Each structure stands twice: as C-alpha cells, then as structure tokens.
C-alpha cells in the first residue's frame, strides 16, 4: 500500500508541474525592445503639449527610467526621464540616453536638456 500511495503522489506532483511556462520578452532579444521603446518615447514626446498632466503622460509612456522630485518657491517639481536615444551598447539606460520631462505641480512645463534650468529660473 505505501508503494501505491508513493506512485500516486509522484504522478499527481508531475501532472501539476507540466504545462507551466513563463515567457519573458518576444524572443527577439532585449535590444529590439529598447529600440522600439525609445522610438515610441521619442515620437510621443515630439507630439506633447505644454500643460499636459503628469498622470496622462505616465499612463501613456509608463514608468520613467529616472525621476527627480524637489520643491522650490512653493512649487512641486517632478522631472521624469524617458529613454529616447542610445549612446552605449551596454544593455543599460543612463541619463544621457533620456529626455527629461519637467512638471510643476503635475503640469508639463517643458522637456529637453535645458528644461530643468529654464523652469527653475
């Protein structure tokens, strides 16, 4: 009887583990995903309008690659950095490969390399 119970338990365990597959990515490699993502981000940013809400931008673009938050003169600043270019083929995103989007009190006031400086003057 113990042998029959052991065989039943082994069979049940085997059946419960079959068919479990977790797929990550699309099989084309991470590089294609980065290229597609940065092209999408660049297209979206080129069509943005000042005054857009941060929640809509984040909903459309997803999580930022980097974020900075600070307060100045009673205003809340949030800078979201999204990947838009590639400088190194190292599999990592660095700030020099991103475009900053500057929000004051959750409204878009500018984007690009000088946007932070201009927004805080």
pLDDT in tens, the chain (121 residues): 565 555 555 544 444 444 433 333 333 344 558 789 899 999 999 999 999 999 999 999 999 999 999 999 899 999 999 999 888 777 788 899 999 999 999 999 999 989 988 888 8
pLDDT of res. 4? 54
**Any domain includes 109:** yes
pTM: 0.70
54 near 108, Cβ under 8 Å?
yes
**Any domain includes 5:** no
pLDDT of res. 52? 97
CATH for 108: 3.30.1450.10
pLDDT of res. 89? 76
pLDDT of res. 92? 83
Q: How many CB atoms lie within 10 A of CB 75?
A: 13
In 3D space, the residue among 51, 54, 53 whose CA is nearest the CA of residue 67 turns out to be 54
**Any domain includes 22:** no
**Any domain includes 116:** yes
Which tokens belong to 7? 């065989």
**Any domain includes 9:** no
pLDDT of res. 2? 62
d(CA 20, CA 91): 29
- Give me the domain span that covers residue 112: 30-120
**Any domain includes 21:** no
**Any domain includes 12:** no
Which tokens belong to 46? 């080129």
How many structural domains compose the chain?
1
d(CA 40, CA 59): 14
d(CA 70, CA 76): 6
**Any domain includes 1:** no
pLDDT of res. 121? 84
């Amino acid at each position: 009887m113990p042998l029959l119970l052991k065989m039943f338990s082994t069979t049940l365990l085997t059946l419960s583990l079959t068919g479990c597959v977790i797929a990550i990515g699309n099989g084309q490699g991470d590089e294609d995903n980065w290229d597609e993502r940065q092209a999408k981000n660049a297209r979206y940013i080129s069509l943005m309008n000042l005054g857009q809400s941060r929640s809509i931008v984040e909903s459309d673009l997803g999580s930022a690659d980097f974020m900075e938050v600070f307060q100045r003169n009673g205003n809340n600043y949030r800078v979201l950095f999204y990947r838009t270019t590639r400088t190194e083929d190292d599999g990592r995103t660095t700030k020099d490969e991103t475009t900053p989007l500057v929000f004051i009190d959750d409204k878009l006031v500018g984007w690009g390399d000088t946007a932070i400086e201009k927004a805080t003057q």
